A and B are shown apart, each in its own frame.
Chain A
Amino acid sequence: MLALRKKKRDFIGTSAIWLVRILFFSLVLALFLLLGKIVSQGIGTISFEFIFDDPKNNMTEGGIFPAIFGTIAVTLIMILLAVPLGVFSAIYLNEYAKDSIFSRIIRTSINNLAGVPSIVFGLFGLGFFILFIGRGMDDVLKTGLLFGQPALIWASATLAVLVLPIVIVSTLESLNSVPKSHRDASYGLGATKWQTIKNVVLPQARPGILTGTILAISRGAGETAPILFLGAAFFLPNLPVSDLCIGDYCIPMINPAKQFMYLAYHIFILATQSSNPTKTLPIQYGSTLVLIVLTFLLNITAIIFRYRFRKALGRL
């Protein structure tokens, strides 16, 4: 007789599924507790003065403006250095380079470089940018010790090398997701290679490239380890800004040869190395909240972009 009515008893299975559920939601709970703690402790510190003032009284009071400014300046230069180079080289690898063992080795190296510890990039920045390029420039230009020391430009350049593989990998993925049949259609209509890339491939890949780029920027802005010895400073009385003068007309510009304050570094230094970590705790929480908001804004933008990108791809 068929026992259709009998409900199958699977006690172990049901409990296993509940266990998975519980593990997942405890994770979500932990995330909310973490964020909740930062927000509740940090929100009291946030004020107009906190964002736009300099630190005062040996950093136990005042704001964090120089750290915010430094973060933006470093990230901006990093974007200029890494994004065009990364996107263009990905276009070369995916659209122009022939598929050979050589190109596969390059792809594999880039993939794996994205997983190399960030502190190792810091070593590279020190060994290559500061000691080799910087000191080399000092020797050649006879400037004394000017370039061969920690500075904003070297921190940006190092972070750029750090995010370069991430930009390349995500651009490669986006370019790869454009169907070959669309390229064929374009060639079949008499388009040249560049016309095909410009009119068919890039418009479809753009949201994906943008997503990867934003994620890379957020990674760079939140990174601390590689810049520890590349020019991040405990406290600086002045912003890394100098007037760039053409005749009598001067505009303030980011001066990449100076040292800088950095939000992530600021949190680290206040929490571990300041004379009175307990007294500065509100400032630490406030800075953490600002950093979290900054990276989350970037990440949420990226997630929304990708959501739209996938939806558009799903229609093909």
Chain B
Amino acid sequence: MKEIKIITKNLSLFYGDKQALKNISLEIQDKKVTAFIGPSGCGKSTFLRVLNRMNDLIDNVKIEGEVSVDGVNIYDKNIDVVNLRKNIGMVFQKSNLFPKTIYENIVYGPKINGIKDKKTLDEIVEKTCIQSAIWNEVKDRLNDNALSLSGGQQQRLCIARALAVEPEIILMDEPASALDPISTAKIEELIHDLKQRYTIVIVTHNMQQAARVSDMTAFFYIGELIEFDRTTKIFTNPSIKQTEDYITGRFG
């Protein structure tokens, strides 16, 4: 039986008076890749940021409805947001490595969570770099500045950095949109490997990418969830006309 990891029910989000998300209800399954697609401005990235409460950092945002992870409503007022974000990793559109060494970038998360032992930290670095398929490229230059890496390497290092705090869920906000085709292929391969152990939610504007990497696909349009189904179904036989129009390139 498929396990559910995240449930949202009637979720709405407002920037001041403007409603950006309207009554979104969906279930995200454990250890699967779920893709959010849709034209720009449709709310898919905003929705992704609802899942680890990154929107809290913006003034004037109001959220209604329920978002539960493992049965816990994460918008309950006693929930520790910091702990939540630790357990839900996030990879951003543009690589946002700190201007520190490769090593320091990866151990940033573990260190702020109180791990001080050098040996443990070394192990974390090696383990996460191997998992994110970048170990061979960086193992001899861990003390170089992280910004000296290529764009694709930087993005995989961002994934390694996210893995270092041992999350169960990884949110990816258009992780390959700024990369060349070869680097993109490497990231997609990596996503495929990671789904054995992690629940992955990915926002992408590249429909082929969604079709290649995801198990489930959600189509968003102007703040609404239009259709949510198995990826194969969405891309071969969508049940709603708007989805079909978008998939076949008639708008967007």
A contact set with B: CB distance below 8 Å = 98-99, 179, 181-192, 195, 199-200, 204, 312, 315-316
Closest to B53 in A: A187
Interface contact A315-B82, CB-CB below 8 Å = no
Contact for B82 among A184, A191, A204, CB less than 8 A:
A191
Asked if A312 and B99 make an inter-chain contact with CB atoms under 8 angstroms apart, the answer reads yes
Give, as a whole number of angstroms, the nearest-CB distance from A32 to chain B: 38
Q: Are B94 and A190 in contact, with the CB atoms below 8 A?
A: no
A191 touches B112 (CB 8 A): yes
Interface centre among B83, B109, B112 (most CB of A within 10 A): B112
Binding site for A on B (CB under 8 A): 52, 54, 57, 59, 82-87, 89-90, 92, 94, 96-99, 108-109, 112-113, 145, 147, 158, 161-162, 164-165
Q: Are B162 and A188 in contact (CB under 8 A)?
A: yes
Set of chain B residues within 8 Å of A185, measured between Cβ atoms: 92, 96-98, 158, 161
4 nearest A-B pairs in the assembled complex, by CB-CB distance: A190-B86, A181-B96, A188-B90, A189-B109
Q: Which residues of A contact B97 (CB under 8 A)?
A: 185
Is B86's CB under 8 angstroms from A189's CB? yes
Kindly provide the distance from the CB of B19 to the nearest chain A CB, expressed in whole angstroms: 21
Q: Which of B59, B82, B96 meets A190, CB within 8 Å?
A: B82
Give the residues in chain B near A179, CB-CB below 8 Å.
Answer: 96
A–B pairs, 17, beta carbons within 8 Å: A179-B96, A181-B96, A184-B96, A185-B97, A188-B52, A188-B85, A188-B90, A189-B109, A189-B112, A189-B162, A189-B164, A190-B112, A190-B165, A192-B112, A199-B108, A204-B99, A315-B145
List of B residues within 8 angstroms of A192 by Cβ: 82, 112
Shortest Cβ gap from A221 to chain B (Å): 33
Give the chain A neighbours of B57 by CB distance below 8 A.
Answer: 183-184, 187
Give the distance to chain A from B177, nearest Cβ to Cβ, in Å.
14
Most buried by B among A179, A186, A187: A187
Q: Which residues of B contact A188 (CB under 8 A)?
A: 52, 54, 85, 89-90, 92, 162
Q: Which residue of B lies closest to A191 (CB)?
A: B112
A315 touching B112, Cβ below 8 Å: no
Q: Say which residue of B54, B84, B99, B112 sits within 8 Å of A199 (CB atoms).
A: B112
Nearest-Cβ distance from residue B149 to partner chain A, whole angstroms: 12
B83 and A182 form a contact (CB under 8 A): no
Known: A98-B59, A184-B54, A315-B147. A189 touches B96 (CB 8 A): no
Q: Evaluate contact between B147 and A189: CB separation under 8 angstroms.
A: no
Contact at A315–B99, with CB atoms within 8 Å? yes
**Chain B: minimal CB distance from A177 (Å):** 12
Closest to B94 in A: A181
B197 → chain A, closest Cβ, in Å?
A: 18
Please state if B161 and A189 are interface contacts (CB–CB under 8 Å). yes
Check B59–A99 contact: CB distance below 8 A. Answer: yes
B59:A189 contact, CB within 8 angstroms: no
Contact status B86-A181, CB under 8 Å: no
- B109 near A187: Cβ-Cβ < 8 Å: no
CA distance A184 to B90 in the complex (A): 9
Known: A189-B86, A192-B82. 5 other contacts (CB 8 A): A181-B92, A184-B90, A185-B96, A185-B97, A190-B109
